[in-house]
């Protein structure tokens, strides 16, 4: 979406508040011993209170309100009453939804309770990389420059990036152009960010893998070489200066 008037900006602010606060409250709600379905049901309740509808369900008939992934899962994990969250799990929640014709997307990874597997640095690196990437984006900046930044920062911290997943345009739908805002520099990609464009910027940072592979359930993605994976995501509006971070209320950087 390209924002052309105040009504569109307000529409994007409303749906972005819904997904951001849903994500934040889900992270505050989670505890060891809880199933991922119980956590997802809570997320669905929150979205319903905002009057918002789950984007994964609307677009893909995804069997859940939100995507909940654990440890080696990169994204799109299906909530299940058989999947019990454990102390020290690396938990990723991705919340996207629609409200009054506007769509927004955000996600965040956290450690559940105590960091017994010593993965807090992985989480912190992803959060910091997303912040640096977003603060570099403005109208006219080449999309692949952001991919280059993300990959270089990941390597500098001793990590890898997933190369076949990335950010995307959002607003009038869940996935719009520009699609494929990747976590590495694609030298053939000559596109540039446009002023007033709404985009979801995502980091996919891992300990071992560089590619995401779809599992037999048709949704969950895991790394080609195993290891742990984290994701962080904000929906923003590109400007001539600092972007407007529409999902800032999710508290990723708090």
Whole-angstrom Cα distance, residue 230 to residue 126? 7
The answer to whether the CB of 36 falls within 8 A of the CB of 187 is: no
Residue 8 in marked binding region: no
Residue 224 in marked binding region: no
The answer to whether the CB of 170 falls within 8 A of the CB of 176 is: yes
Whole-angstrom Cα distance, residue 184 to residue 163? 6
Q: How far is CA 218 from CA 61, 62, 191, in A?
A: 11, 10, 31
Residue 105 in marked binding region: yes
Q: Is 35 exposed, middle or buried (0-12, 13-18, 19+ CB in 10 A)?
A: middle
Residue 175 in marked binding region: yes
Residue 202 in marked binding region: yes
Tally of CA atoms within 13 A in the half-sphere of 76 that contains its CB:
18
Residues flagged as binding site: 76, 94, 105, 168, 175, 202, 233
Residues flagged as binding site for substrate: 76, 175
Residues flagged as binding site for a divalent metal cation: 94, 105, 168, 202, 233
């Amino acid at each position: 979406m390209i924002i052309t008037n105040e009504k569109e900006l307000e529409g994007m602010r409303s749906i972005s508040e819904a997904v951001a606060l849903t994500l934040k409250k889900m992270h505050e709600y989670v505890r060891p011993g809880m199933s991922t379905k119980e956590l997802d049901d809570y997320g669905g309740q929150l979205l319903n209170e905002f009057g918002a509808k789950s984007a994964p369900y609307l677009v893909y008939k995804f069997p859940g309100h939100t995507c909940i992934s654990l440890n080696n899962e990169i994204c799109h994990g299906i909530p299940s009453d058989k999947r019990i969250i454990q102390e020290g799990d690396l938990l990723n929640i991705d919340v996207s939804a629609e409200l009054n014709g506007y769509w927004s997307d955000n996600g965040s990874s956290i450690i559940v309770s105590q960091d017994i597997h010593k993965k807090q640095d992985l989480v912190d690196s992803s959060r910091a990389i997303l912040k640096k990437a977003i603060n570099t984006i403005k109208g006219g900046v080449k999309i692949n420059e952001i991919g280059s930044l993300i990959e270089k920062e990941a390597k500098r911290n001793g990590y890898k990036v997933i190369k076949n997943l990335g950010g995307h345009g959002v607003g009038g739908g869940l996935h719009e152009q520009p699609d494929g805002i990747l976590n590495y520099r694609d030298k053939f990609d000559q596109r540039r960010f446009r002023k007033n464009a709404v985009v979801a910027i995502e980091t996919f940072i891992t300990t071992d893998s560089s590619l995401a592979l779809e599992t037999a359930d048709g949704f969950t993605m895991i790394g080609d070489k195993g290891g742990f994976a984290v994701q962080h995501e904000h929906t923003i509006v590109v400007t001539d200066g600092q972007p407007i971070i529409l999902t800032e209320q999710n508290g990723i950087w708090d």
